[in-house]
Structure 1
Amino acid sequence: MTKYLFEANYVGEGIKGLMREGGTKRRDALVEAVKSVGGSLESFYYAFGETDVLGIIEVPEPAAAAALSLLINSTGSVQVRLKPLMTPEDLDDAARKTPSYRAPGK
């Protein structure tokens, strides 16, 4: 399973819904959504400033993460961004690979 950092912002009616339902009910809704694609919620935090909510989810495959992101963003009440997370060992594996690339103009 892959871990993803999520960052989300409530917009429009989403802000009103958050205020009406409270933070724990919105977290519970995310737990159910993540479970529906075979994943789990590792951490969930509210913040203020540039980002309203952030945390870490774990899902079995990139398609599941994309489906979750598409579903949440399609509501128009929340804008979510997912970033795949890598362990130090994942980075070690990447550093051992030798891809081929030609820079522009070279």
Structure 2
Amino acid sequence: MTKYLFEANYVGEGISGLLREGGSKRREAVVTALASVGGSLECFYYAFGETDVVGVFDIPDQASAAALSLMINSTGAVKLHLRPLMTVEDLDEAATKSPAYRPPGR
């Protein structure tokens, strides 16, 4: 399973739907959507400012995460951004690798 940080903003009818249904119903919708692709919700928070919703979920693979993102964003009611999260051990492993790279102009 891969963990993803998600950030979402309600847009247009999504805002009206949130006001009509309330926050817990929208969280339930996220839990159901994640379960449909084999995922689970770790945490879900409402915020204000630049981001309306933030949280973390586990999902089996990138294709499932992409499918979920495409489906949610296609509604036009929510703008969803996903960021894969790495463990400390993932970063330790990355630090042992030496990719070949030449910076521009060198």
What TM-score, normalized by structure 2, do the two folds share?
0.98
Query: Which runs of no fewer than 5 residues in structure 1 stay unpaired?
Result: none
Q: Which amino acid in 2 is paired with 1:79?
A: K
Residue 25 of structure 1: aligned partner: 25
Residue 7 of structure 1: aligned partner: 7
Residue 69 of structure 1: aligned partner: 69
- Percent identity reads 72
Q: Give the CA deviation at 1:100.
A: 0.6
Q: Give the CA deviation at 1:105.
A: 1.1
Q: Which amino acid in 2 is paired with 1:60?
A: P
Q: Give the CA deviation at 1:91.
A: 0.2
Q: Distance in 2 between matches of 1:70 and 1:97?
A: 32
What TM-score, normalized by structure 1, do the two folds share?
0.98
* Runs of 4+ residues over 6 Å off in structure 1: none
1:30-45 mapped onto 2 (5 Å cutoff):
30-45=30-45
Task: Give 3-state SS (helix, strand or coil) of 1:35's partner.
Answer: helix
Aligned length: 106
Q: Distance in 1 between matches of 2:14 and 2:90?
A: 36
Q: Distance in 1 between matches of 2:51 and 2:84?
A: 18
Q: Which amino acid in 1 is paired with 2:76?
A: G
Query: Which runs of no fewer than 5 residues in structure 2 stay unpaired?
Result: none
Task: Give 3-state SS (helix, strand or coil) of 1:41's partner.
Answer: strand
Two-structure CA RMSD over aligned residues (Å): 0.5
Task: Give 3-state SS (helix, strand or coil) of 1:45's partner.
Answer: strand
1:43-62 mapped onto 2 (5 Å cutoff):
43-62=43-62
Residue 78 of structure 1: aligned partner: 78
1:13-40 CA-to-partner distances (Å, cap 9, x unmatched) read: 0000000000000000000001111100
Task: Give 3-state SS (helix, strand or coil) of 1:98's partner.
Answer: coil
